[in-house]
Chains A and B, each alone.
Chain A
Amino acid sequence: MESQRTYFGRALVELGRRNPNVVVVGADTTESLKSIEFGKAFADRFFQLGIAEPNMISVAAGLAAAGKIPFATTYSVFGSAHTYNIIRQNVAYTNLNVKVFCSHAGLTVGPDGATHQINEDLGLMRGIPRMTVLVPADGPETGKCVAAAAAMKGPVYCRFSRTNVPTITSMEDEFVIGKARVLRDGSDIALIGCGLMVARCLEAAEALKRAGIKARVINLSTVKPLDVATIDRAARETGGIVTAEEHTVVHGIGGAIATAIAANHPVPMAYVGVQDVFGESGEADELLRKYGLTTENIVDAAHGVMKRRARSE
């Protein structure tokens, strides 16, 4: 189990060393985010702007308009919902090179409770034209998101977890924005997850294997632009999809994937995620269990999809 934030802080420092145009703005959460590491290394390129996230985003936009590559870093609830129209008008409409990187996404923020557990940020961000939306599955991928976001031109939103997550990718794995990665092949059903749910998809595939079901597992680390080709191929070759996300099912990756396959090759689907409710205080694992985001929930959803498909055949 590793901290995504540790990889994040380290990647920012590495990037800062390579590229003098990279700057970091923060909002009184920089120690927690580990973006303070960048501030320690490059004090003149680090701006602590206090509990004022709208200002932080617009300042980042101004820095970008003058040629800098600003990373705006805070908790997801503040970096997406509290700043939504600032990001929309000052970052996306302007098509500026601002990278909003947020930790503390989803239920697994834990004891802080529902005020801090944003399960709606992916829907908010993927709905904005020009936004690229990233959800790294683990530590190494979080670091790669930093480098890849800086290498592309345009606005990026990236969210990851407060809680430590199992490491399922390696530093050597290729990471390309817009490309979903097949982690495990299979032809009976496809499990498509993002963030910490990818590891649960892998566990679910192992459990399904014991029942004789070959599940394909896809790591959807880019939520937007959606890798429609890989999703479409999964739909055609497996005939059923389960999505898994630490996010509301109202407008997360399940909705995005359903929309894409409905236009191409519709197959039965099930959506593992937060069911249009707010979270509550509790430990990360307790919350994932209570709100239906476990390996078992994915396995059950896969059986359900396969039963529905069998009935319709």
Chain B
Amino acid sequence: MSPPSQARDGAGQATVDVSEELIATLKKKAVTLRKHIIRMTHNAQSGHPGGSMSAADIVTALYFHVLRVDPKNPTWPDRDRFVLSKGHACPVWYAALAERGFFPVDELLTFRKLNSRLQGHPELGTTPGVENAAGAEGQGLSFSVGLALAARMDHKPWRVYCILGDGEQDVGQTWEAAMASSKYGLDNLTAFIDRNGIQQEGRTEDIMPLEPLAEKWEAFNWHVLTIDGHDFRQILAAIEEAHRTRGRPTAVISRTVKGKGVSFMENKIKYHGAATSDEELKLALAELEAQEASIWP
């Protein structure tokens, strides 16, 4: 029997026994990524900071603790695959890849500029470490299914991690992929749903109600966990549980805050697709630097 799903109300979450040092390192790295996101989108005066910041802790946990990838050999065949289905959140991906050493950190400020390797939405084959093209929503989970099937056919241990937006739960193809994943029992596939509750034009529950979301994924025969997507212990515990789960893919519904980390951006619909002003940039960076300084050890 597979382990029971975590409680859906966020209470009694499992955590993992990891050191304070690791958690502090990840927290610091996540702040670094958020600073990059703010600078990149400010410099471009466009892009999608809100949904990049909501996913920052999950991306940090994956790239700085979980994924087996080689920045010197981005196409190493046995690497784990990270697929960003919500392609508009690519600033967080680019920031993580640069910090992980896939390309120079300096290059981040070319984001959305002419002749840049850092396109406004991810392009496969251009940016070292980018695994999929995304922009039109709802294709990433299907793409992940193809990857996971290939790993299984080749008896390879590498795993596939896909981050979907909650706006993407509107897209029919997401559910086509959900059915295919459970049909083939893809236990090498883990999907994080960045449940920040906001999409381009408003609250997800106003645009197109998604709840009960966990029950939907369960009805599609996924193993479902609901976590606080900003709590590293819960993120790492969910990943461990997904690894232990046999015969079913795991969906991690990650309760997050759009614009997380900058007080005036949090939960603001505006920052789905708007950059900060010069004044806001200073305030945002000051807040993030204060957070960085407060992280122990």
Contact residues of A with B, CB < 8 Å? 23, 44-45, 47, 49-50, 52, 54-55, 57-68, 70, 85-86, 89-90, 93-96
Contacts and interface: CB of A to CB of B under 8 A. Distances in A.
Interface string B125-160: 100000111111011101111111111011000000
B146 A58 contact: yes
B124 A59 contact: no
B180 A62 contact: no
Contacts of B123: 93
B101 interface: no
A89 B136 contact: yes
A66 B142 contact: no
Nearest to A50: B179
A90 to B, nearest CB: 5
B83 to A, nearest CB: 8
Give me the 8 closest cross-chain CB pairs, A-B, nearest first: A62-B146, A58-B142, A66-B150, A55-B176, A52-B176, A63-B146, A94-B124, A59-B146
Contacts of B131: 65
Given A66-B146, A70-B146, A94-B133, 5 more contacts: A47-B149, A62-B142, A63-B149, A63-B150, A65-B150
B221 to A, nearest CB: 14
B104 interface: no
B19 to A, nearest CB: 34
Contact of A90 (B133, B150, B151): B133
Q: Which secondary structure dominates where chain B touches chain A?
A: helix
A70 B133 CA distance: 18
A49 B139 contact: no
Chain B's interface size range is 20 to 34
A55 B151 contact: no
Interface in B154-170: 154
- Scoring A54, A62, A66, A93 by chain B CB atoms within 10 A of each residue's CB, the highest score goes to A62
19 contacts: A47-B149, A49-B180, A50-B179, A52-B179, A54-B176, A55-B142, A55-B177, A62-B143, A65-B143, A66-B81, A66-B150, A66-B151, A68-B153, A89-B136, A90-B133, A90-B142, A93-B133, A94-B133, A96-B124
Contact of A66 (B135, B147, B176, B177): B147
A44 B140 CA distance: 23
Contacts of B179: 50, 52
B176 A61 contact: no
B184 interface: yes
B74 interface: no
A44 B145 contact: no
A54 B147 contact: no
A69 B91 CA distance: 31
B143 A67 contact: no
Contacts of A66: 81, 146-147, 150-151, 154
Contacts of B176: 49-50, 52, 54-55
B159 to A, nearest CB: 12
A62 B184 CA distance: 15
Nearest to A49: B180
A66 B88 CA distance: 23
A45 B147 CA distance: 13
A94 B180 contact: no
B90 to A, nearest CB: 14
A44 to B, nearest CB: 7
Contacts of B184: 47
Contact of A89 (B139, B145, B147, B177): B139
B10 interface: no
B124 A54 contact: no
A64 B146 contact: yes
A62 B141 CA distance: 9
B133 A62 contact: no
Nearest to A91: B133
B145 A65 contact: no
A61 B180 contact: no
B209 interface: no
Nearest to A55: B176
Contact of A55 (B145, B150, B154): B145
Contacts of A60: 146
A270 B124 CA distance: 42
A4 B170 CA distance: 39
Contacts of A47: 149, 180, 184
Contacts of B146: 58-66, 68, 70
B3 to A, nearest CB: 27
B110 interface: no
B147 A62 contact: yes
Contact of A54 (B77, B135, B140, B172): B172
B173 interface: yes
A61 B131 CA distance: 11
Nearest to B125: A95
Interface in B74-90: 77, 81
A59 B151 contact: no
Nearest to B172: A54
A61 B150 contact: no
Question: Which of A45, A57, A63, A95 counts the most chain B CB atoms within 10 A?
Answer: A63
Contacts of B147: 62-63, 65-66
A282 B219 CA distance: 43
A62 B125 contact: no
Contacts of A55: 142, 145, 173, 176-177, 180
Contacts of A86: 136, 139, 173
Given A55-B177, A59-B142, A89 B135 contact: yes
Given A65-B132, A93-B124, A59 B149 contact: yes
